[in-house]
Amino acid sequence: MSKSKGSKPHIGIFGRRNSGKSSLINALAGQELAIVSDIPGTTTDPVKKSMEIFGIGPVILIDTAGIDDVGELGEKRVARSREVLKTIDQALLLISENIFGTEEERLISDFKKYEVPFMIIHNKSDLLSLDESLHSRLLTKYQVPVLNLSARFKPELEELTAKMRQLMPETAYTAPSLLGDLISPGDVVLLITPIDNEAPEGRMILPQVQAIRDTLDHDGVVLVCKESAAGAFIEKMNPKPALVVTDSQVFAKADAAVPQHIPLTSFSILLARQRGDFKNYLKGTPYIANLKDGDRILILESCTHQVSCDDIGRIKIPGWLQKFTGKKLEFVVVAGLTNLPRDIHDYAMVIQCGGCVITRKQIINRLKPAVEAGIPVTNYGMAIAWMHGIYNRAVAPFNIASL
């Protein structure tokens, strides 16, 4: 595991309307970041606040709507707040006036479902302190910190931030290396990066940049070329590359250009191992050979972007799948972390992108319903490698037997 320099732990603030969630965020920040009002329901949707907490560092605080919101619109707000649970590393559950009931119990059940560490905070203690019997009951039942504080008082906030530091999982700051365990200091890594309609003008795409940085972080040497130059370039290289990483879209060309004794994989597969559900990808990818006429395939993109005629998720992968299987398939593409348009059981297979702009936890939770339903999952790079007959070579650099 390595420290992820761009990583910011996500902390969700939950509670009933007017429990002081926004006041607590402002107190932690030391400034007015959130709107505070005595009118219940001021916060209507989850709102992210980027800030730094002493002893924890940069974090993203997420202010959510009240869990007791009512009406049709209120129910939608509560549902959106619960969606936050799939993305956060820690939760603060605020209560006040010694009120703790069904809404809080249901939310804690969700915390446990998504394995989110949490604490319970009785806020506005300057108006009414936490009842000792309730304090004892919560401690006994949930075995988590239960604090009695007012967002107005600094000493109590210091106790809160100390508890937050203790509660924060190490995984909120760390991530497996992208390729550091595949190379040794001084090794040469060759990156094959096509320049096509999807390549951003004047710059590299994020997975390519991440691979360059990770190689340098592990004292390797990076060389970059287009697929048209790879074969001739490798012939001239001395020493030969210890690893070649290609864009999945030119997997077949890279396979032909790179000698078989040199390890070859793709940016998407590196990302699949670093932040995806790699074990289930390995299990699910071969199901491509079993697809039938009429099967519906769910393609999950982690970001929203302008669609081009060469779009990998919306154009190329569906085309390759139709050609490889010889079947008439239906494709549904969902971008970002939005809700699925159908029940997960309506899909025969799920194909997740590399996920370069979201966290591992977000991808794992995104795929969780499919995995629990026994629906095969894979990712872009692994699916492409399978369809081009180079799957075994593409996953060979990784110690699959130990997974």
Helix (H, G, I), strand (E, B) or coil at 115: coil
* Residue 31 DSSP label: S
Place of tokens 């059981």: 345
Contact status, residue 312 vs residue 354, Cβ threshold 8 Å: no
Asked, for residue 403, whether it belongs to a domain, the answer is: no
Handedness of CA 12, 18, 22, 23 (dihedral sign): negative
- 251: CATH: 3.40.50.11420
Q: Which domain holds residue 160?
A: 2-174
> 75: buried, middle or exposed (CB in 10 Å: 19+, 13-18, 0-12)?
exposed
243-to-54, 233, 239, 260, 282 alpha-carbon distances in Å? 41, 14, 12, 11, 21
Which of 145, 174, 203 corresponds to the end of one domain? 174
H-state helical runs in 240-337: 251-257, 267-275, 278-284, 317-325
Asked, for residue 86, whether it belongs to a domain, the answer is: yes
Which of 148, 174, 200 corresponds to the end of one domain? 174
- 287: CATH: 3.40.50.11410
Asked, for residue 211, whether it belongs to a domain, the answer is: yes
CA of residue 32 relative to chain centroid, distance: 29
- Whether the ω angle into residue 40 lies within 30 degrees of 0, i.e. cis, is no
pLDDT recorded at residue 173: 67
Asked, for residue 397, whether it belongs to a domain, the answer is: no
pLDDT recorded at residue 275: 86
**Same domain as 209, residue 262:** yes
**Same domain as 151, residue 63:** yes
Number of domains in the chain: 3
Size of the chain, expressed as the number of residues it contains: 403
Asked, for residue 313, whether it belongs to a domain, the answer is: yes
What's the predicted TM-score (pTM) here? 0.75
**Same domain as 379, residue 354:** yes
**DSSP output for 197-250:** TTSPTTS--HHHHHHHHHHHHTT-EEEEE-HHHHHHHHHH-SSPPSEEEE-GGG
**Same domain as 332, residue 313:** yes
394-to-50, 65, 268, 290 alpha-carbon distances in Å? 38, 45, 11, 21
Both structure tokens of 280: 């289930």
**Same domain as 153, residue 12:** yes
pLDDT recorded at residue 43: 45
Which phi and psi angles does 234 have, rounded to 5°? -65, -35
pLDDT along the chain (403 residues), means of 10: 58 92 82 47 64 81 90 86 88 96 95 94 92 96 94 76 88 78 96 77 84 96 95 95 94 95 95 92 97 97 62 91 97 87 96 84 90 96 95 90 56
**Same domain as 203, residue 166:** no
101-to-81, 240, 267 alpha-carbon distances in Å? 18, 65, 48
Contact status, residue 277 vs residue 262, Cβ threshold 8 Å: no
**Same domain as 148, residue 8:** yes
- 146: CATH: 3.40.50.300
Give me the residues paired with residue 91 across strands: 12, 118
Contacts of 24 by beta carbon, 8 Å cutoff, 6+ apart = 13, 92, 94, 121, 123, 151
Contact status, residue 191 vs residue 223, Cβ threshold 8 Å: yes
Asked, for residue 210, whether it belongs to a domain, the answer is: yes
**Same domain as 303, residue 227:** no
**Same domain as 154, residue 20:** yes
**Same domain as 333, residue 223:** no
Asked, for residue 398, whether it belongs to a domain, the answer is: no
Contact status, residue 64 vs residue 14, Cβ threshold 8 Å: yes
Give me the residues paired with residue 57 across strands: 53
Closest CA to 16 of 42, 34, 35, 47: 42
**Same domain as 163, residue 31:** yes
Which of 251, 270, 289 corresponds to the end of one domain? 270
Handedness of CA 159, 78, 36, 15 (dihedral sign): negative
Cα(123)–Cα(142) distance, rounded to whole angstroms?
Answer: 18
Asked, for residue 100, whether it belongs to a domain, the answer is: yes
pLDDT recorded at residue 246: 96
**Same domain as 184, residue 76:** no
pLDDT recorded at residue 156: 77
Which phi and psi angles does 358 have, rounded to 5°? -125, 170
Radius of gyration of the chain (CA): 24
CA of residue 264 relative to chain centroid, distance: 25
